[in-house]
Amino acid sequence: MRFLDANVILRYLTRDDEAKARACYQLLHRLHRGEKEVATCEAIVAEIIYVLSSPRLPYRLSHEQIRARLVPVLTLRGLRLPQKRVCLEALDIYGSSPTLDFEDALATAHMAQRGITEIFSYDRDFDGVAGARRVEP
């Protein structure tokens, strides 16, 4: 098994280099068919989201656009992602919360999985998240 870096998914999603995008598509198609397996992690997902949403880069996708593009990739049969369900839940939260960054959505999804409803934080973005109550230390 090999590890999948963010730039492979980014090349596929952005098509900013057509030759690399085709090669990435072929790899992802093999993952879809279950012919190959790769591993990745939440940090890679966060990096992809940062690049696609950054106002300093040309993509500037909305939270919902990012969720719509990433869910099909993250659910590929051959993609191994620890806590995949939590990561997909975080994408749902992120996609429906235009002001919440992905890391906070991920924290919220981890809280929900563990049955935790309160978070110690000064970040007021949590104030609008259903099922999470922010408490200042």
Domain that holds residue 119: 83-137
State whether 87 and 65 are in the same domain.
Answer: no
Helix, strand and coil in the chain, % to nearest 5 = 55, 10, 35
State whether 101 and 115 are in the same domain.
Answer: yes
Sequence-ordered list of residues with C-beta below 8 angstroms from that of 117, at least 6 positions apart, any chain: 111, 131, 132, 133
Q: By the 8 A CB rule, do 67 and 13 touch?
A: no
List pLDDT tens digits, range 7-39: 999 999 999 999 999 999 999 999 999 999 999
The residue from 82, 97, 127 where one domain ends is: 82
State whether 54 and 95 are in the same domain.
Answer: no
State whether 7 and 69 are in the same domain.
Answer: yes
State whether 7 and 74 are in the same domain.
Answer: yes
What does the pLDDT read at residue 36? Answer: 97
Q: List, for the chain, all residue ranges whose pLDDT scores fall below the cut of 70.
A: none
State whether 54 and 109 are in the same domain.
Answer: no
Query: What total of structural domains would you count in the chain?
Result: 2
